[in-house]
Amino acid sequence: MNERRIIPLAVAPARPSASADSAPGERSATQPPRLTTPPPLSLYVHYPWCVRKCPYCDFNSHTQRSEAEHAGLEDRYVAALGADIESALPQVWGRRIHTVFIGGGTPSLMSAAALDRLLTTIRTLLPLDPMAEITLEANPGTFEAAKFRDYRAAGVNRLSIGIQSFDDAHLRQLGRIHDSREALAAIDIALTHFERVNLDLMYGLPQQTLDQALADLDRALATGASHVSAYHLTLEPNTPFHHSPPPLPDADTAADMQDAIEARLAEAGFQHYETSAFARPGQRCLHNLNYWLFGDYLGIGAGAHGKLSSHAGVVREMRHKHPGRYLEAAERRDFIQERREVGTPDLPFEFMMNALRLNDGVDAGLFQARTGLSLERVRPGLELARQRGLLEIESSRIRPSLHGRRYLNDLLTLFLDDD
């Protein structure tokens, strides 16, 4: 489980009946509202291969072939990514890319030459901001000092490392391919070449104690990394852990871990700016912030999700999921497996699902800027959330209360379409 990826919850498509409570100037449920200005645009690139799939992982990842077979496959895949961008150009023409995130899978399995070709293709086809944040996900066990030096030279300026734990017993239970020694070595290499490094940690691990969870965090803090993503282990459907659950800490112990981790990070000078994200001042992940602020993102690669806005409304897309099907689709220049327009009834929930993950919330005006809808459309939900102590509304700012952050799902349901 790595940093990033806000994959939208499944939302039913808009029904073909007119919305009875449309505000003046809004369009019906079958005609999404028009946006006057598109939001900032990011690029997400999915690399679908791993050395071995972890038993808790539900991301689109596949065990890589032998090194010799994978070399040829890598070349084909990078070429397909370029064709994918070309096919999407009419949708994003003239819009500047502010951030790039290369996730997976394990993108650090890519050769430095392949990554350089990929970033060159991106710069050639898209107007990439010269100061763009370019993040690459990496896992210990794939680290080679020379390769990561070359990644930095190619333009990657932020690294996100999937540590998960520094406890060897827990790492074995999680099916990770690295041990604590390799994790520390990877962090050392990363900090040699990158000023901005995120460490992914998980808590609520099988038979984990509070002291063990804090020991993991203390080792992470001791490295000097500037960003930490701390996730509670969840048993996702269609994973080995879901089919055969390991013995996990009870809910009270897991809640104690969360409270203690948040307190320890605050003491260390980290700002808790999103549900699972903590950063030193000036080190927040700009790419993920764009997700949470309901910005746009073009998603390329096998199974990549995208959200694109235009004057005609908001569209969500997903590329062909299996790497083999994706490569076949590249030959036809037919990359889209699923595409849907986000109707008026669904926009409030989708906006809030992202924005209310931010502890500081958002300016109220952002709702209309990103959805094209009047804030009056969600006024009943906002007021009910405030009455229940889930939301704080001060001046022009909307933010979840501490209670709302703890019960985020309860808060979000207040913005689901009543129909």
Residue 356 shares a structural domain with residue 271: no
Averaged pLDDT for residues 193-206:
97
**Closest by alpha carbon to 5, among 376, 356, 410, 354?**
354
Flag whether 1 is in a domain.
Answer: no
Note down the domain range covering 379. Answer: 346-419
pLDDT for the residue numbered 160:
98
Flag whether 13 is in a domain.
Answer: no
> In this structure, what DSSP letter does residue 30 have?
T
pLDDT digits (tens, 9 = 90+) for 136-192: 999 998 899 999 999 999 999 999 999 999 999 999 999 999 999 999 999 999 999
Residue 159 shares a structural domain with residue 234: yes
Flag whether 15 is in a domain.
Answer: no
Flag whether 159 is in a domain.
Answer: yes
Confidence of residue 3 (pLDDT cuts 50, 70, 90): low
Residue 107 shares a structural domain with residue 238: yes
Please state the pTM of the whole predicted model: 0.91
Confidence of residue 363 (pLDDT cuts 50, 70, 90): very high
The structural domain count of the chain equals 2
**Closest by alpha carbon to 41, among 91, 107, 80, 116?**
91
Q: For position 411, which CATH number holds?
A: 1.10.10.10
CA dihedral 47, 48, 49, 54 (to 10 degrees): 120
Residue 362 shares a structural domain with residue 279: no
Q: Which of 290, 313, 332 is the last residue of a domain?
A: 290
Residue 273 shares a structural domain with residue 410: no
Residue 252 shares a structural domain with residue 123: yes
User: In the chain, what is the greatest distance between 2 CA atoms, to the nearest angstrom?
Assistant: 62
Q: What contacts 309, CB < 8 A, 6 or more positions away?
A: 35, 38, 39, 296, 315, 370
Residue 59 shares a structural domain with residue 142: yes
Q: Which of 265, 290, 315 is the last residue of a domain?
A: 290
Cα dist from 123 to 89, 92, 194, 415, whole Å:
13, 14, 21, 39
Q: For position 47, which CATH number holds?
A: 3.20.20.70
Residue 116 shares a structural domain with residue 50: yes
Confidence of residue 419 (pLDDT cuts 50, 70, 90): low
> In this structure, what DSSP letter does residue 301 have?
S
Confidence of residue 35 (pLDDT cuts 50, 70, 90): confident
Helix, strand, coil content of the chain in percent (nearest 5):
40, 20, 40
* Angle, in degrees to the nearest 10, between helices 67-92 and 112-125: 10
CB < 8 Å & 24+ apart, contacts of 274-282? 274/357, 274/358, 274/359, 275/357, 275/359, 275/405, 275/408, 276/229, 276/230, 276/231, 277/3, 277/227, 277/228, 277/229, 278/227, 278/228, 278/229, 278/230, 279/226, 279/227, 279/228, 280/226, 280/227
Residue 280 shares a structural domain with residue 152: yes
pLDDT for the residue numbered 31:
61
Residue 303: CB atoms within 10 Å: 22
Flag whether 334 is in a domain.
Answer: no
Residue 352 shares a structural domain with residue 284: no
pLDDT digits (tens, 9 = 90+) for 89-146: 999 999 999 999 999 999 999 999 999 999 999 999 999 999 999 999 999 988 999 9
Flag whether 49 is in a domain.
Answer: yes
Start-to-end CA span in the chain (Å): 34
Flag whether 201 is in a domain.
Answer: yes
Residue 377 shares a structural domain with residue 238: no
Least confident of 67-71, 104-108, 312-316, 338-342: 67-71
Flag whether 14 is in a domain.
Answer: no
Q: Has residue 41 got a pLDDT over 60? A: yes
Confidence of residue 292 (pLDDT cuts 50, 70, 90): very high
Residue 249 shares a structural domain with residue 396: no
Tell me the H-state helices in 126-250: 145-154, 168-173, 180-193, 210-222, 240-243
Averaged pLDDT for residues 299-318:
95
Averaged pLDDT for residues 218-233:
97
Q: Which of 290, 305, 326 is the last residue of a domain?
A: 290
